[in-house]
Structure 1
Amino acid sequence: MNAADRLVAHVQDHGYDDLPDDVREAAKTFILDAVGVGIAGSRHPRMAQVHAALVALGAGAGRAGPGTATVWGSGETAPWESAVLLNAYQVFNQEFDCIHDRAVIHAMACLLPACMGYAQAHGGVSGRQLIAAVTLGLDVAIHVGLAQRAPMAFFRPAMCGALGATAAVAKLSGLDGTRMLDALGLAYSHLSGTMQAHVEGSAAVGMQVGFNARAAVTACALAACDFPGPHDFLQGRFGYFALFDFGQADWAAAEADVGRVFQIARMSHKPYPTGRATHGGIEGALRLAREHGFVAADVERVTVHASALVKRLVGRPARPDMDAGYARLCMAYAVATALQTGSVSLQDFQPAALRDPARLALAARVAVVDNGNPDPNAIGGPQAVEVLLRSGLRHTLRLEELLGHPSRPLPPSEQDRKFDRCCAFAARPLSAAQAHGLRTRLRRLEDCEDVASLPLQFHGETP
């Protein structure tokens, strides 16, 4: 059985009743997380441009009724394929969404908007069906990512996310194995995204996720109408592994866990709204400051010892003209912000913070150096953070895994606090009562008879 057939069989053969309790709980936890960060993403400054482009294409928000879905945090509805693109971009655009550290994939950003869009547009999808589809679709995305061995040149979170979203929506829509293969092959034919946008700190990084989420629902619609797609889309001569992993993939190593380990239980929360590659530097600087009692003004230099991938992704210098997207992928800015404010929050990417001379001056004294990790895809630990104080004292902290990793999970109280803060940051902020009500429903998602009934349509005040 080839890789594509193996993954489709896994999705076809499992349902909610087959999932262990801890996997169901993890699914609810990360669905809650993705909804929260997607709601906060409605306030991203690029959203006005995305809305305007969709209006120009005749696919903008505003119309309600059959075939529409909610644009999270905006109080609007849109044709459901447009809502999927918008919500996927919103989940990703603040670098606050959950991640699988080992696979380096943020697949929930594609998966959940696609599934929620389908559920709202078609109705009749229960919370249990959503939990199962998200869990199994994520397995497709993560196992493909885990097989990859080459350094990222194509944007893996969007591409693997599209494959996972396709499998999940195909599961929800009841496609049989052949049509699910068709849908996945069609999604493969539509994959897009490279690391160029990341290198430049461009807002197109998140839009690549939106493009791929919309591709997933398009592929499923075509397959449902019996349009065929290529079936050997992973291991074929011109399949995913040959082209996007340059023939270096090791499917045998990844396949061993298919059906044995549900990868949603290995996802990591992001405690900070920045690229995951900055989190070791943030956490190390904050812990050293607390343990040794120094403040930002005492710091002469900070050095983060991390993998070559971390250095490549976030080792860029802070600039006075940078926008929020660039800053979220800048270790220097993230560490300087943490030392100056005691954390890193959504508010730290507003224009005034990005132009703060004191913060930029401190950022100029933060560096990332390659620690020699031989894994070209290592984004988590081990890392070390070294702080040299103006007094000459030097403090170092080693991190084996980052905060939010399954071995160091974010406590439920912090998960709820993150969700509430995201809801308050929306384009139309949710009241505390609204956020609590939505959070309660999502925490009890298995009791929801129809996902379309979830209270995602709010009409709060524009800040």
Structure 2
Amino acid sequence: MSQSINAIALLLAHIENTHFDDLPDSTITACKTFILDSLGVGISGSRVPQVSKLKHAVNQWGEGKQAQVWVTGEWLPAASAAAINGYQIHNQEWDCVHEPAVVHPMAVILSSLVAYAQAHNLSGKQLILGVTLAVDVATLIGQCVTSSLKFFRPSVCGCLGATAGMCAMSGLKGETLANALGIAYSQISGTMQSHIEGSSMLAMQIGVNAATAVRAIDMAQAGLEGPKDILQGPYGYFHLFEDSYDLAPLRDKVGREFQIEVVSHKPFPTGRAGHGTIDGLQRLQRSHDFTAQEVAKIDVYAPPLINKLVGRPIKSGMDASYAKLCNGYVAACALLKGDVGVTDFSPDCLADPQILALGGKVFTHLNQVSDPNALAPVSVAVTLLSGQQFQIEIADVLGSPQNPLGRQTQLVKFRAACESAVKPFDEHNIAFLIKRIDQLEQIPNINHLVEALVSNR
């Protein structure tokens, strides 16, 4: 029976016994692919106005010259830099997702690991190993959950994964590793309330947990102890944060399938739960050549999680955080503009009467799927004013491992992200950064990568 497994013991052994030379080429390639993607969206996230407010708050937490804020380059304590960079990765809903786990695996993880690696002069190989194991820990925990989201799994699982990844990068094992995870578990946070309300605090939950992971390592290395039975104990993760679980995914996959290889890109800066709608509408529009002005109604049939996450009504006065998680809004943008980009969430767009009117014609319904964590399949049905109807069912949404973005499309996204930064990157800087990441395992010091993340280098 899977519940008889000691989950934390399996993960601890995986962290301790996996080395860079154990990683297949496919895992290293996938890791670099999603490091590139996540750095790109983190660079773009510098454009969001709330970043300056966060910087003001973080500056009250103390000074230090351990790690840098991406794009603008300020030197801060590692935990503070991780908080800002984590927020920048997730604040536009453009970062990758592990769909079965319902975890954005790179937001907490990459922001904290890069800050820690920069502070401790770690290498590109160490970063790749750390990211790979961090993603395993975060997503294998998430995949074991059989109940619906209550806490914000990207932040809470992400923090545990990030802590594991920093230990792997640094070679921390035994009691120090176990204590670090226990200390992190004692501080993990983030709920779905911010998601439901469309609050900008949703992305800040990522930043808070990135900082928490860095501090957990510091405390463990100082000799502080943490609880040990953090997953299956009476107040462990599976009993306190979730309603039900099955350890079979952890039992079957740990050490056999590196989870970074099954992560999904997000082609559009919206919740992943809205991607099926956008993908379906784009396919239907290409096939049937109708215009937004001809549309009478759009019906989306989707699993419970999609209804929960993006089935909210479009409304006047909404902000960008709400709109990114609104099926009606993203559908209207896709039909009217042919795509959805970061500029579609400006105040002018959010108040556009044409978008609001068309978004009001979008209705999200439950389909036959009962899995509370499923993000597919999605059916999109368009009814025109003429009475014509078009429908498509999508089993594999664009960006998923079964329907992946090709390398050139990945680079188009990356370039667009870098060009949209608060201090836009030019083509020379973008090409330099791409080359650095392509050669990441050859970099002896992560500071050589971070210098390429500052736009005025």
**What is the aligned counterpart of 1:20 among 17, 20, 24?**
24
Shift of 1:119: 1.1
For 2:83, the equivalent position in structure 1 comes to 85
CA contact (8 A) 1:73 1:423 kept: no
For 1:301, the equivalent position in structure 2 comes to 297
For 2:108, the equivalent position in structure 1 comes to 110
CA contact (8 A) 1:332 1:367 kept: yes
**What is the aligned counterpart of 1:424 among 419, 422, 426?**
419
Distance 1:72 1:151 in 2: 34
Distance 2:198 2:289 in 1: 34
Gaps of 5+ in 2: none
Secondary structure in 2 matching 1:190 = coil
**What is the aligned counterpart of 1:145 among 142, 146, 162?**
142
Deviates more, 1:71-80 or 1:408-417: 71-80
Report whether the alignment pairs 1:56 with 2:60. Answer: yes
For 1:434, the equivalent position in structure 2 comes to 429
Shift of 1:459: 4.3
Distance 2:71 2:455 in 1: 8
AA of the residue aligned to 1:402: V
Secondary structure in 1 matching 2:452 = coil
For 1:261, the equivalent position in structure 2 comes to 257
AA of the residue aligned to 1:384: S
Distance 2:402 2:352 in 1: 36
How big is each residue's C-alpha offset from its partner over 1:24-59, in whole Å with a ceiling of 9 and x where there is no partner? 100000011110000001111211211121233445
Alignment of 1:157-306 (within 5 A): 157-246=154-243, 248-306=244-302
Distance 2:214 2:62 in 1: 18
CA contact (8 A) 1:143 1:255 kept: no
CA contact (8 A) 1:9 1:177 kept: no
Secondary structure in 2 matching 1:456 = helix
Indicate the RMSD between aligned Cα atoms, in angstroms.
1.3
Secondary structure in 1 matching 2:454 = coil
Shift of 1:77: 2.3
TM-score, length-normalised on structure 2?
0.97
Distance 1:218 1:456 in 2: 26
Deviates more, 1:73-82 or 1:333-342: 73-82
Shift of 1:81: 1.1
Secondary structure in 2 matching 1:388 = strand
Equivalenced residues, count: 452
Report whether the alignment pairs 1:403 with 2:398. Answer: yes
AA of the residue aligned to 1:438: L
Distance 1:276 1:457 in 2: 26
CA contact (8 A) 2:382 2:389 kept: yes
**What is the aligned counterpart of 1:378 among 374, 383, 391?**
374
Distance 1:115 1:339 in 2: 39
Structure 1 residues 152 and 457, CA, compared in 2 at 3 Å: closer, same or farther?
Answer: closer
For 1:310, the equivalent position in structure 2 comes to 306
Distance 1:340 1:204 in 2: 29
Shift of 1:187: 0.5
Shift of 1:244: 0.7
AA of the residue aligned to 1:74: T
Secondary structure in 2 matching 1:163 = helix
Shift of 1:253: 3.7
Distance 2:78 2:412 in 1: 30
The ranges of structure 1 where at least 4 consecutive aligned residues each deviate by more than 6 angstroms after the TM superposition are none
How big is each residue's C-alpha offset from its partner over 1:192-228, in whole Å with a ceiling of 9 and x where there is no partner? 1110000000001111111111111111111111111
Report whether the alignment pairs 1:333 with 2:322. Answer: no
Structure 1 residues 459 and 409, CA, compared in 2 at 3 Å: closer, same or farther?
Answer: closer
Distance 1:283 1:179 in 2: 46
Distance 1:76 1:98 in 2: 26
Distance 1:458 1:407 in 2: 34
Distance 1:459 1:345 in 2: 21
Report whether the alignment pairs 1:33 with 2:28. Answer: no
Shift of 1:460: 4.2
How big is each residue's C-alpha offset from its partner over 1:324-358, in whole Å with a ceiling of 9 and x where there is no partner? 11110000000000000000001111111111110
Structure 1 residues 457 and 256, CA, compared in 2 at 3 Å: closer, same or farther?
Answer: closer
Distance 2:255 2:454 in 1: 39
CA contact (8 A) 1:70 1:456 kept: no
Distance 1:448 1:235 in 2: 39
Shift of 1:256: 1.1
Distance 2:61 2:140 in 1: 35
Distance 1:12 1:254 in 2: 16
Distance 2:15 2:386 in 1: 59
Alignment of 1:350-389 (within 5 A): 350-379=346-375, 381-389=376-384
Distance 2:160 2:117 in 1: 18
CA contact (8 A) 2:327 2:364 kept: yes
Distance 2:187 2:389 in 1: 51
For 1:45, the equivalent position in structure 2 comes to 49
CA contact (8 A) 1:97 1:106 kept: yes
For 2:389, the equivalent position in structure 1 comes to 394
CA contact (8 A) 1:179 1:226 kept: yes
Gaps of 5+ in 1: none
